[in-house]
Amino acid sequence: MTVPGIEWPRLVEWMGRNVPDAGEPLSVSLISGGRSNLTYLVEARERRLVLRRPPLGHVLPTAHDMRREWRVISALAPTPVPVPEPVAFCGDEDVIGAPFYLMGHVPGTAMRTREELGDPPPEHVRRLSERLAEVLAAIHAVDYREVGLGDFGRPEGYMTRQLDRWCQQWERSKTADLPEYDHLVRRLRDRLPPEAPGTLVHGDYRLDNTLVRAGDLEILAVVDWEMSTLGDPLADLGLTLTYWHSRGDDERAGIPVAGDATLTPGFLDAPEFAEHYAKASGREITDLGFYVAFGNFKLAVIIEGIHARFRQGKTVGEGFDRIGAAVPTLIARAHRTLDQV
């Protein structure tokens, strides 16, 4: 069996020793083609499992940390935050060529588009968008020390370090010099908000990083925890709104991430979502404009890294040829948002 990123005979042997309750592994197939980490469905005789591993090719330092994802879903499993069941972790790169972990298969779908959502009743769609805000608030309400994540990050100075980190990532992966980017970094540094009490943050929270059950549209699990840490919760909210596709925002349609599911009739618009989060969390969101601008900046850097991997021929899947054009658009959107703050 030949599947990119998987050494099948070695995986079968490893699972036989480490996950015997799953039964004999029968097949593996790619679920998600890796704008970020690669995700596979592993069919075993007794159950279905999902495998996560880093992308192929050039990987930026600190990115795509499998042990980090494994640790956070293991810590959150007994909390109200819905996550997949953690099953087994492998740090031995000799097995499939990279660290990986296995989690239980969740019978839900990552909804990216209106087409994937189908034509549900608007009240179901509204409840889905409310739950999306409530689950984010639940993540931020976790007592991270109580669940063993007290050393998972340093909340103090989080936004300053985030700005420095993503600037470093840009320098490592940029494919062109953009003066507008340099100007944006200066503006963000000048507008850094006051220090906020730290919480667990997901780092890439959006609808298609959840698994949703067809029919009632219940959120069954939050996935893709690779950028989670301890930090400022409004950075999560700002990035979520960066992904939001609002009615009338034609420019947003040209940014090939997160899809257009938020255009489905019944979905809260961006301000309504922010207000529902504020109500669910009890948190003030007066500085939200800065965090939305920062979200655009962060997403621009992430996409530039993906674009760099595409140019190296190290991506798996389709649609990567157009992704680089989104970078200057996101930088421009960040500038416009800061103009309004």
pLDDT value at 66 more than 60:
yes
**pLDDT tier, 308 (very low <50, low <70, confident <90, very high otherwise):** confident
- Closest listed residue to residue 268, CA positions, set 162, 128, 121, 78: 128
Average pLDDT, the chain: 91
Instruction: Report the candidate in 136, 144, 128, 143 with the shortest Cα–Cα distance to residue 279.
Output: 136
Where residue 65 falls among pLDDT bands split at 50, 70, 90? confident
Summarize the confidence of residues 174-184 as an average pLDDT: 91
User: Is pLDDT of 62 > 50?
Assistant: no
Q: What's the pLDDT band for 300 if we cut at 50, 70, 90?
A: very high
Quick one: pLDDT at residue 319?
60
Query: Residues 174-182: what's their mean pLDDT?
Result: 90
pTM of the model: 0.90
Is the pLDDT at 146 greater than 90? The verdict is yes
Q: Among the listed ranges 34-38, 153-157, 205-209, which one has the minimum average pLDDT value?
A: 34-38
Instruction: For residues 287 and 234, give the distance between their C-alpha atoms in angstroms, rounded to a whole number.
Output: 8
Q: Using 50, 70 and 90 to split pLDDT, how confident is the model at 208?
A: very high
| pLDDT more than 70, % of the chain | 94
What are the residues facing 257 on neighbouring strands? none
Q: Can you give the pLDDT at residue 61?
A: 45
Of 256 and 172, the structure prediction assigns the larger pLDDT to 172
| Whole-angstrom distance, CA of residue 255 vs CA of residue 324 | 9
User: Where does the pLDDT of residue 58 fall: very low under 50, low under 70, confident under 90, or very high at 90 and above?
Assistant: very low
Q: Are 276 and 268 in contact (CB under 8 A)?
A: yes
Distance CA 295, CA 181 (A): 14
Q: CA 94, 99, 104: angle at the middle one, nearest 5?
A: 120
pLDDT at 234: 98
Whether 305 has a pLDDT exceeding 90, the answer reads: no
224 CA to centre of own chain: 5
Among 17-21, 32-36, 41-45, 275-279, the least confident range = 32-36
